[in-house]
Every structure is written in C-alpha cells, then in structure tokens.
Copies of this chain bind each other. A is one copy, B any other.
Amino acid sequence: MTMGGETEVPEAGEEFRLRVRGWLAEQLGGEFSDVVDTGGPGHEDEALERRRAWERRLGSEGWIGLGWPTEHGGGGASLARQVVFHEEYAAAGGPGRLMHMSEQLLGPTLLAHGSDDQRRRFLPGILAGEDLWCQGYSEPGAGSDLASVRTRAVREGEEYVLTGQKVWTSLAHLADWIFVLARTDPDSTRHAGLSYLLVPLDQPGVEIRPIRQLTGTSEFNEVFFDGARTAAANRVGEEGDGWRVAMSTLGFERGVATLGQQIGFRREFDAALRLARANGAWADAELRNRLVRAWVRLRVMRYTALASLRSSGGGASGLEASLSKLQWAEWHRELGELAVDVAGTEALTVAPPYELTDEQTLFLFSRADTIYGGSNEVQRNIIAERLLGLPRG
C-alpha cells in the first residue's frame, strides 16, 4: 500500500514534491540517518543534540517558515507546498520537530501581532533553526479552562516581574525562551487582564522541573517563576490583550500540519495491520473489524483534511480545527488501544527496566491527545455552539 500523497495535492507541483523528497532522502539517508524516526511521542528526549543540528540544517536550507511571507524571511510558499513538505517529511521518517512550537505557534503570533522590532529580533533565530521556544499557557489545576491564569506579571519600570507556575511545557529544559500568558491586571478574572509575554528562560527567577509521566519518561516540565523578569518591550500586543493574541494563532498549530500528521498515523496503522497479519490477530473477527473501521476512519480523516484544504485556501478555521482535533484525537486514542489488543499477550511485558514497545507507547501516549490542546469536551462545546448554534449551558 502507498499513501500516494503525490497525486492528491496536485496544485503543489510534482517538481516541488520531488525536490523535497530528494533533499530529505539525501539528508536522512546520509549525514542525518541517525535521527530518522527519532523524537516521536514518548521519545521527545531522544537524540537531542543531533536533532538541534537537524533543525539548523532545515533552517539553513529554507525549510523553516516555508509559508511565512518573504518580507519577513519566510519561503512564501503556497499552502499546497507546505502540505507537501509536511507529507514528505512524515513519509521520510523525519524526526520529531524541536522547533514545532517556535515555528507553528510563536512565529505566526509574531507575524500577526508582533512589533516590527520584535519580528526583526526573534524571527531570524527561528528561521535559522537556532532559537527554541516553549509554550507557557497551561497551569496546574486549570485543565481545559485556559483562561483561569494565575501566573502574575507586575510592571516595574521597563520590566515585568513574573510569579507563578506553568505546566506541560515540552522542551523547557532545552528552550531559550518561553512565551507566557500572564495576568498583568491583578484585579481581573478570566480572559481579561492577561498579557502575552516573551520571557528568557536562562535567569535566576526561573526554575524548570521535569514531570515524570505514566510512561516513566519525562518529556514535559513544570516551569516556576519566582521574580523572573522580562523587558516590557517583550510584550506582544497591548497590555491586557494577551488572550486575543494567544487564541488567534492557536488554530495554526493544527492547520497545514494535519495532512503530514496523518502520514504518521498511517505508518502507525500499517504497523498494527502488519503485526495483526504476522501474529494471527487478523484471524480474530473482532480485531479484524476494528482494524477495518480504523482504516475507514483514517481515510475519512484524510478526505476531510483534503476538503478543508480545498475550501479554505488558507489555515483551517477555528471550527474546522475543532472538528479535526476531535476526529483525530479520538481516532488516535482508539488506535492505541487497538494496537495493544492486536499485540495481545506480547503487550503484557516490557523490556527492563521499563522500556515500552511502540504499541504500548502509542496506547499510553495517545491518551494525552484527547486532553491537551483543547480537550474533547472543549471541542464538543465549540462544535455544538459554533457549528450547530446550540445555546450555551
């Protein structure tokens, strides 16, 4: 079976696809062969130095910020070409992207809301694959209620002083900077009174502690601010306008990357199917049926993404992002369960001390998909209210 992405997004041009494919093959078959398939979910801390080098290579060849406007140093590529890049990247087994947050979240935010000065200062480091950023939105106990921010930033002259705690910040221990939603108006509640601040991590007022996860590994961190400082010039947008700044680009995270992400899903599905054929699980009617249903839904996700691409001509709308997120998160979680069920009794044991198989990792990690980045429950609220127009509860 081939995914055959080559013909489904014809607008990108076959020549472009072949160029991407050729370059990836050369790099990942040669100098960077050691990073192939590294850094996936549950393995975010693999081969870190090499993957930083890989990001710099991507940057120096112009593959970062492919769709950003040329006047800001981007590639100015069409949406179709961005999709092609993501698809080919996934198909080639490109490593998990360390620059994900920097390129997909911060970059678009600065492009949309940053000052000229901020763009000049921060975009080049991202485009070069040099500067790693991490995200500081989530707080302990807030769950899906992103607006219940308790981290405070108090203005002192030309600086903000931060106190509080962020959680689930991936790569914080590697990153240079963090972009933070903080409460600058102490009397405010919820969405109002928040500001969007860029904060350097290498300073005394910042402490980073890894979180050990159910897999036994630690890809995420808690970040504690206790008198951490950043220049007032590092605020993106107006004071108190942070919620709007943050939300306006949250959907970007899930736009063009979707089709590439699905190539990854397809690889996971194919692995489960191969395993089922090899170990006899395919002969079980129930497991076979679940595999067929998973295949059907994977195809449907692809059709949905292609339709969205066709109709939007740009990034997915917030609503489409919600539909897509709910769709893939549920699918992926079910695939995780299916994969261990296909593995059967083999899934009962791990390699010592606690090294999980791919199926086990998928089983455990995919459970985060329905929680982070807007839980299933939040997505269902959005769909019910914004697509269907049902009244608020």
Contact = CB atoms under 8 A, between A and B. Distances in A.
Interface of A: 285-286, 288-289, 393
A288 B285 CA distance: 9
7 contacts: A285-B285, A285-B286, A285-B288, A285-B289, A286-B289, A289-B289, A393-B393
Nearest to A287: B285
How many identical subunits does the complex contain? 2
Main secondary structure of the interface of A (DSSP, over half): helix
A289 B288 CA distance: 12
Contacts of A289: 285-286, 289
Contacts of A286: 285, 289
A330 B289 CA distance: 23
| Ranked 4 nearest A-B pairs via Cβ | A285-B285, A286-B289, A285-B289, A285-B288
A393 B392 CA distance: 13
Contacts of A285: 285-286, 288-289
A296 to B, nearest CB: 13
A288 B393 CA distance: 41
A285 B292 CA distance: 12
A393 B393 CA distance: 9
Nearest to A285: B285
A286 B285 CA distance: 7
A286 B289 CA distance: 7
A110 to B, nearest CB: 42
A286 B286 CA distance: 7
A289 B293 CA distance: 15
Contacts of A288: 285
A153 to B, nearest CB: 34
A127 to B, nearest CB: 49
Nearest to A292: B286
A282 to B, nearest CB: 12
A206 B393 CA distance: 40
A109 B37 CA distance: 71
Nearest to A284: B285
A291 to B, nearest CB: 12
A286 B296 CA distance: 15
Nearest to A289: B286
A377 to B, nearest CB: 14
A285 B288 CA distance: 9
A286 B287 CA distance: 10
Nearest to A293: B286
* Interface core residue of A285, A289, A393 (most chain B CB under 10 Å): A285
A63 to B, nearest CB: 45
Nearest to A288: B285
